[in-house]
A and B are shown apart, each in its own frame.
Chain A
Amino acid sequence: MSTLHTVNKSPFATQALVSCLNHAKAGDAILMIEDGVYGGLSGTGLTEIIEEFGKNVSLYVLSPDLDARGLDAKRLIGGIEGVDYAGFVDLVAKHDRTQAWL
């Protein structure tokens, strides 16, 4: 049993991503969407925390949201995978429940 968590806020604006990371279980997936994609950037003040907490979970970003914001996938923290909306749907189907961190 595992959960897909979605985070749609910048981690520089709210605690949603950190709170999500604090509650995610090993084997869960976290998909950063909308302004949440800023959480996937490397070289920020939060990168280290996200890398540390993210060790046991799979991290994804919604690529169309990344593209819209002019962020190159090369700037993402290593191991974060980009998915499109079809990939989002696959993640929802693959995990037993979806929890949105609004």
Chain B
Amino acid sequence: MKIGVLVSEGPYTHEAADTAYKFVTAALAAGHEVPRVFFYHDGVNVATRLSVPPQDERNIQQNWSALAKEHGVDLVVCIAAAQRRGMLDANEAERQGKDAHNIAEGFRISGLGQLIEMGIQTDRLVTFGD
């Protein structure tokens, strides 16, 4: 079965990004496909490569990047929500005249159409937020 996932709350303050990660890991282990995870609202903050959590804590961003690498999960960050919150990839940083970019490996920035497309192309859509 194809399961799409929407993460709509940021890391650390809320449990949503952790629950979503555990859920996706379990879905993949059960043989389901998780073609895409879409990050919206403050969920876009999961994608920052600049977070430095204490060493004895889980690294939420790295967990997700590893999932993308190992299982080919398409991690899409909403561009409109990301720009509001200062999340830019190299292309966007250049286009907007900003001196830095912060999107971690495995994540890509794209439009809300990717969320709708995920809803159309998957059998289930599961939302984690606050």
Q: List residues of chain A with CB under 8 Å of any chain B CB.
A: 6, 8, 33-35, 62, 64-65, 84-86, 88-90, 92-93, 97-98, 100, 102
Contacts and interface: CB of A to CB of B under 8 A. Distances in A.
Interface in B7-26: 8, 15-16, 19, 22-23, 25-26
Contacts of B15: 8, 34-35, 65
B104 interface: no
B10 to A, nearest CB: 14
18 contacts: A6-B126, A8-B19, A64-B22, A65-B19, A84-B26, A85-B22, A85-B23, A88-B23, A89-B23, A89-B30, A92-B27, A92-B126, A93-B32, A97-B124, A98-B125, A98-B127, A100-B126, A100-B127
Contacts of A85: 22-23, 25-26
Contacts, number: 56
A98 B130 contact: no
Contacts of B75: none
B19 A86 contact: no
